[in-house]
Amino acid sequence: MTVAAGAPAPTVLFVCTGNVCRSPAAELLLRNALGPAAGLQVTSAGLGALVGEPVAPPMARLLHERGVDPEGFQARQLDPAQARAAAVVLTMTVQQRAAVVLRVPATVRRTFTLTEFADLLGLVGPPSAGTPGERLAAQVAAAGRGRGLRAVSADDDVEDPYRRPDEVFTRVFARIADTVDRLVPHLGLPHAA
């Protein structure tokens, strides 16, 4: 995947249900960690989005504590064209992965759960050289080929904290942050040798 001059940057798309807790946290954490120089667009959407809503207050607080500003975020409904255009779609549950693929069958080879994708990237090794788009395309292809190296299970699911106690938000945020941190070396700028 080579990006032509003036073309939009390759996109990492996170998907959850309402797009007010899990997927915005993943989006904002990854975008913050990669920085603008990474050459990737990071976004999120919901299968049943609470369109226009901000990040849920408990998740916004946890993001602030990590130095990430959720101000201005608004929940968005998943658009099939958005999923088709994404370089990779990362869902929070196995069921959401199935729902994305059912709605947009063209995404089957590049839709993973967040945990599955991070685990697979850890198994397939470091990214190749090239543009951000080329590196991301190579990582997605390698993860797809590596799917047989690990079983998908309910353990891949990141639980939904919406309207639940703060301790659930804390647990979910910690899991998302840890998993996003594992993605950064694979998706970020290559380090000079």
**pLDDT value, residue 17:** 97
Segment of 56-70, 124-138, 152-166 carrying the highest mean pLDDT = 56-70
User: Looking at per-residue confidence, does 91 or 3 come out higher?
Assistant: 91
Query: In this structure, what token pair is assigned to residue 90?
Result: 């990362």
Average pLDDT, the chain: 91
Question: DSSP assignment of 39-50, as one string?
Answer: --EEEEEETT--
pTM of the model: 0.92
Q: How far apart are the first and last CA of the chain?
A: 24
| Domains annotated on the chain, with CATH | 11-187 (3.40.50.2300)
Q: Outline where DSSP puts E strands in the chain.
A: 11-16, 41-46, 88-91, 111-113
Three-class DSSP category at 90: strand
Q: Answer whether residue 61 shows pLDDT above 70.
A: yes
Q: Answer whether residue 122 shows pLDDT above 80.
A: yes
Query: In this structure, what token pair is assigned to residue 29?
Result: 């954490």
**pLDDT value, residue 9:** 84
Q: Answer whether residue 137 shows pLDDT above 70.
A: yes
Return phi, psi of residue 3, to 5°: -95, 125
CA 1 vs CA 41, 85, 136, 190: distances in Å: 14, 12, 8, 17
**pLDDT value, residue 121:** 92
Q: Answer whether residue 159 shows pLDDT above 60.
A: yes
pLDDT tens figures, 85-96: 999 999 999 999
**pLDDT value, residue 6:** 53
The amino acid occupying position 60 is A
Q: Answer whether residue 8 shows pLDDT above 50.
A: yes
Q: Are strands 11-16 and 41-46 parallel, antiparallel or unpaired?
A: parallel
Q: Answer whether residue 54 shows pLDDT above 80.
A: yes
- DSSP code for 77: B
Residues 6 or more apart in contact with residue 124 via CB below 8 angstroms: 139, 142, 143, 145, 146
Q: Answer whether residue 157 shows pLDDT above 80.
A: yes
Task: Summarize the confidence of residues 106-114 as an average pLDDT.
Answer: 96
**pLDDT value, residue 37:** 80
Residues 6 or more apart in contact with residue 129 via CB below 8 angstroms: 135, 190
Provide the edge-to-edge strand list for the sheet that holds 111-113. Answer: 41-46, 11-16, 88-91, 111-113
Q: For the chain, what percent of residues have pLDDT higher than 90?
A: 74
